[in-house]
Amino acid sequence: MLNDKTILITGGTGSFGKAFTRYVLEHYSPKKIIIYSRDEFKQFMMQNEFKEHISKLRFFIGDVRDKERLVRAFKGVDYVVHAAAMKQVPACEYNPAEAIKTNIHGAQNVIDAALDTDVKKVVALSTDKAVNPVNLYGGTKLVSDKLFIAANAYAGDKDICFSIVRYGNVAGSRGSVIPLFHNIIKNGGTELPITDYRMTRFWISLQQGVELVIKAIEEAKGGETFISKIPSFKITDLAQAMLPGCPMPEVGIREGEKLHEIMVTVEDSMTTYEYDKHFIVYPQMVWNDKQQPIPGGKKVEYGFSYSSDNNTEWLTVEEIRELLKTIDLE
């Protein structure tokens, strides 16, 4: 599917973009991968990191807020993976207008640029925070998701489809709890603060996120939201896995923070299908005859929901400790 294709990644110098690029180069033979981002230094660093593949890579300076630049960049591109976003919850709360410009207006620019060129598929990265949002970041990503789903209605006769991949914080990603705990321990800390003892999260690795995006590129027909089946863990168990026997003072939930990550709501259950390793939430509106459920799935019962606190698969302290060995925190 990706062999001899040109793929563009917005926000491509981030942790996902680098992991996606490496995975594609190791498993496929793409014609070209375009890294589209606004940070020239990160592009310079990524060029050095991938110098053995430099003939397959192109680096474009650009911002998703700039539609003209996107249109120019999308010329000759087959697939677009939209990973650019303002992601830090506090930054979005304090800079709401900037979050809207990047996460909402930027999403619309990506859609318009794809419709105005010959792009065949667009996969947008979403987040659990877009489900029943309680902060501005989640609110902007909810609007972004709705825009990408509705974009299929604007495609007309064009051979293009838009879909979404939704997952929570990647284990070890910047701003998540694992690097926070790691830095406390590295600096000699003897206790790990817990915002709320009831808190749970899903565990997803970067590679699992990448593989789900590739599945979406391969299978999407338009409007689907792909969600991985992944295990849950308790934040208290994570603390004990990282610093066994440590005190865990409860410090109170932060602004815009949820107790649990929600991936599929009860309302979504009416159009959700379960597959071996993932769920797909199909759009409630149908725009063309291509939008049929992908074979191999089973419709979930009404009332079903999927969140980190009602999961059937849970990691033990020892399992968490083993998984932590796979994460590079330095």
What residues act catalytically?
Answer: 129
The residue to which tokens 């089946």 are assigned = 229
Whole-angstrom distance between the N-terminal and C-terminal Cα of the chain?
35
Closest-CA residue to 59 (of 76, 80, 44): 44
The DSSP output letter for 187 is T
CA gap 213, 219 in Å, rounded = 10
Q: Hey, CA dihedral for 140, 166, 164, 153, is it positive or negative?
A: negative
Distance of CA 12 to the CA centre of its chain: 12
CA gap 141, 84 in Å, rounded = 11
- DSSP letter string, 227-253: EE---EEEHHHHHHHHSTT----B--P
CA gap 6, 126 in Å, rounded = 22
Q: Where are the alpha helices (DSSP H) in 50-118?
A: 67-74, 89-94, 96-100, 106-115
Closest-CA residue to 10 (of 87, 106, 88, 99): 106
CA gap 280, 300 in Å, rounded = 10
Q: Which helix (H) or strand (E) holds 99?
A: helix 96-100
Asked if residue 121 lies in contact with residue 161, where contact means CB atoms within 8 angstroms, the answer is yes
Neighbouring residues of 114: CB distance < 8 A, sequence distance ≥ 6:
74, 80, 122, 151, 160, 162
